[in-house]
A = this chain, B = another copy of it.
């Protein structure tokens, strides 16, 4: 067994070195350096470069550092994502979660107990189990026992267990409270100050599952914004304060990108300048007008469309108002319950899954988003899933949580209940559209560049 594990670990390590090598080749290709050019400029041998590319030698931080000195590249370009979830599923047991316990004080008093739940280096979830140690004796939003936070960069989906008050600042800057119970859920926009507390009279302290995650703005986007500095960085936020104003902002943004005058756009669209001015003053174009504008701006209708509605920054979903349905079509293997969601995050889906079938072997779920799950019931749930290594199975015990990669085929069986959150990583959305245009045929080279951009020996 020990041998097998070592082998696996070493095999994984060699795979990772190959990915580092492919990525390194990708960087060299992008700046049009052959291995011999790179060797000369980095002052190492061509053989060493080739061994790094082949994954035989691990790329050192010394070479990365030298590369960032001589080329307009960044250290982060050379560091790949470590895959801590090679089988597609990473479980965190309830016992391990307990070990990560940290008590957070506010104003000198214990306020929360935090515990980690399942996280992966390849998945964007940063989920915490949080016990509300502060017990409030009323439901007033300005209760002085309540200690507010500053809000945070990440989006938050919260699932409530027990008698918990949720405090938040609304759109008008006013303090609000929502009286939550088991099964209720919410969504909190980044930087919205909030707090949670147990209600007086509760049988035990309230719990929340606080599932935070970076969406499109984390990672590269945030790094780019930071590199732009304060003054220029601020310009990137368009005015989306209403649907009308968002439409104006987008049309103006695209017209300015192309340096098109109203005069030229009027010629191209065959629309009066006055009409174009109306669109830039808040009149929302019809669909066919959007189609003409998009064509003449060389963009797509979707690039000009604002969100269908400007959602609330905080969304409270009471369990009693949830939508429920059975899945799959015409077979009752699961009862699904739709939890808090917002059209501002079209790739975030929160569900309660009531598992209804105990034996069927079909892998009836395959979701193109990253998934997080937590067993919120008192009963074991079994999971079967298809990995690179073949079919695998595991038991999700009460209080266990898991991360699952997108597109893993799986099923849940038993009688328990899971909280599931599905979110996009860095591919879903516009990158996925770009990938879809490039097509499956070239996927291998997108995933791991294995080819220099030309053959030395020529190609006719």
> How far apart are A297's CB and chain B's nearest CB, in angstroms?
8
Of the listed residues A154, A221, A338, A456, the one surrounded by the most CB atoms of chain B closer than 10 A to its CB is A221
CA distance A305 to B452 in the complex (A): 36
Report yes or no: B437 in contact with A189, Cβ–Cβ below 8 A. Answer: yes
Q: How many residues of A contact B (CB 8 A)?
A: 176
- Given A259-B367, A307-B437, 8 other A-B residues pairs in contact with their CB atoms under 8 A: A23-B223, A26-B222, A81-B227, A219-B219, A241-B439, A261-B327, A287-B287, A298-B342
Inside 8 A of A346's CB, which chain B residues have their CB? 254, 298-300, 303
In the complex, chain A residues 408-426 whose Cβ is within 8 Å of any chain B Cβ:
408, 422, 425-426
A407–B81 contact, CB under 8 A? no
Complex alpha-carbon distance, A440 and B152, angstroms? 15
Copies in the complex: 2
- Judging by beta carbons under 8 Å apart, are B329 and A114 in contact? no
Q: Which residues of B contact A393 (CB under 8 A)?
A: none
Q: Does A39 contact B (CB under 8 A)?
A: no
Asked whether, in the complex, the Cβ of B74 is within 8 Å of the Cβ of A30, the reply is: no
Which of A44-52, A116-124, A176-184 interfaces with chain B? A116-124
- State A404–B433 Cα separation when bound (angstroms): 27
Q: Are A291 and B308 in touch, CB under 8 angstroms?
A: yes
Are A153 and B446 in contact, CB atoms less than 8 angstroms apart?
A: yes
From B72, B232, B268, B305, A121 is in contact (CB under 8 Å) with B72
Q: Does A282 contact B (CB under 8 A)?
A: no
A336's closest neighbor in chain B, by CB? B259
Q: Which of A225-267 contact B (CB under 8 A)?
A: 225-241, 246, 249, 253-254, 256-264
